Each structure stands twice: as structure tokens, then as C-alpha cells.
Amino acid sequence: MTRYLRNPAVRETALEGEIFLVDGEGREVFYLDAVTSGLWRLLQEPQTIESCRAVFAEAFPDAPSERLAQDLAAALADFEARGLILEVP
């Protein structure tokens, strides 16, 4: 299963609990909302979709499992498309 990790070239700035990221090329600033901030924190260590889903399922016990998996997959794909995370062996 694919594992993901933060791209070390990405610069992170935290301000009053909010997280801003700048991509490795210095082209764009990204703002993370509460949910994607949580995902970003998880990605300090290599994670699979399943490991992320397990953590979020514990944090949001009322969220439908299928929906949670879809949202996490979409968020990870978005992070990857923007060069914020990398696939790791």
C-alpha cells in the first residue's frame, strides 16, 4: 500500500494555531483548515490511507467510514498534486 510523507522542501509556518505552507519552489502559499492540519501533522511520519483513516475514525467516531476514506484519499491526492507530500517506499 502506498505510503506518504511530507515533502521536506515544503516550508511550514504556524500562526495562532493556523498552518501555512509554501511549496518547495516558492510559488504558492497554502492554508490548512482544521482537518487538513490534522492530516499534515500525521504526515510527519510515513502514513498510508488506512493508517490515516484509523486515526481520523477515532477522532470522528460519528463520521461514516466510507466518507472518511474518500475525503482522506482526496486530501492526500490534493497534497501530492501540489507537491506538498511525496510517496515513499
Residues in touch with another protein (CB under 8 A): 11, 13, 15-18, 20, 22-23, 26-29, 31
Of the pair 31, 60, the CB lying nearest another protein is at 31
DSSP, res 47: B
Q: Rounded to the nearest whole angstrom, what is the least distance from the CB of residue 34 to another protein in the complex?
A: 12
Q: Rounded to the nearest whole angstrom, what is the least distance from the CB of residue 84 to another protein in the complex?
A: 13
Of the pair 39, 52, the CB lying nearest another protein is at 39
Q: How many CB atoms lie within 10 A of CB 13?
A: 10
Cα gap 65→25, rounded to integer Å: 36
